Homo-oligomer: A and B are copies of this chain.
Amino acid sequence: MMITSFSNPKIKAIRKLEERKARQETGLFFIEGLRTVGEAIQTGAPIETLVIAPQLLISTFGQSLLAHPAVQAVETITVSSEVFERIAHKDGPQGIGAIVRQQWHSLNAIPVSSTAVWVALDRIADPGNLGSIMRTADASGCQGIILLGACADPHDPTAVKASMGSIFSLKLVTSDWESFLKWRTGNQIALIGTSDMAPTDYQDITYPRPLVLLMGSERHGLPAEAVAACDALVRIPMQGRADSLNVSVATGIVLYEIYNQSKKLDTIEP
């Protein structure tokens, strides 16, 4: 039966997931769009419910997603185009959404490979930046994101959208500083942070592996304890009147330096 009412309890529950509090209480989040739902299905994310608006879901790719083995046993609800537009928060939605269980990983349960690169973020408050960082981390081969301090929620709709599905390819960890530092020491993981005040150009060091790249917020920079714990601090040079970069751009610039160095290593030592 097609849901046509905005006050249907299932629709109200989905809309409630726009709030961080509701996501925390339920451990769920809502995603929509062919790209994002496609990534969730293809990576085997734990989908609890598929939400379909048949009149909007017209693409062949969309149809193929419904036929994917991974979702054959998943509860599916159908909604009217009007209801879907309301929960998708955009014009011209593609008629496919899903309620997905959040997957958080514990630092100590993660096998750390000798070549692993992680990104740790301290107090990154903007969900769009967090989503963009997830996207770049995925593209440059990182294992996951470690959230330290009060960060935006990676399951925020803006973060999910900006990640372009990469949220399903990365391991997500939230940790306090003490546990994080203990983990990286215990696993002999290099910790390199960025700072406007660092003496070293980000291109002038060799990034060891396994590695955590630590990025602070644009507003606060890295806390003193973090600076003290780093094996090295690097700076992105700037000219002109600018004295800082957007944190997702800065993260991309350093991650690609790390990625480029590793590609050259692969070439030298095949």
Contacts and interface: CB of A to CB of B under 8 A. Distances in A.
A169 B245 CA distance: 15
A95 interface: no
B203 A245 contact: no
Interface string A56-79: 000000000000000000000000
Q: Which of A140, A236, A239, A240 has its CB near the most chain B CB atoms (within 10 A)?
A: A240
Give the number of copies in the complex: 2
A54 interface: no
Q: Do most interface residues of chain A lie in helix, strand or loop, or is the interface mixed?
A: helix
Nearest to A134: B242
A226 interface: no
Contacts of A239: 139-141
A256 B234 CA distance: 15
Interface stretch (A2-10, A159-167, A177-185): A159-167
Interface in A132-158: 132, 135-136, 138-141
Interface string A115-145: 0000000000000100010011011110000
B139 A242 contact: yes
Contacts of A128: 128
Contacts of A162: 246
A244 interface: yes
Contact of A132 (B141, B238, B249, B263): B249
Q: Which of A39, A245, A246 has its CB near the most chain B CB atoms (within 10 A)?
A: A246
Contact of A249 (B165, B169, B249, B259): B249
Contacts of A43: 241
Contacts of A263: 237
A223 B88 CA distance: 30
A150 B141 CA distance: 33
Interface in A216-263: 236-242, 244-246, 248-250, 252-253, 256, 259-260, 263
Interface of A: 39, 42-43, 128, 132, 135-136, 138-141, 162, 164-166, 168-169, 203, 236-242, 244-246, 248-250, 252-253, 256, 259-260, 263
Shortest 5 CB-CB contacts between residues of A and residues of B: A139-B242, A249-B252, A139-B238, A138-B242, A138-B240
15 contacts: A39-B241, A42-B241, A135-B242, A136-B242, A136-B246, A138-B241, A139-B236, A139-B240, A140-B239, A166-B240, A236-B256, A245-B252, A249-B249, A253-B253, A253-B256
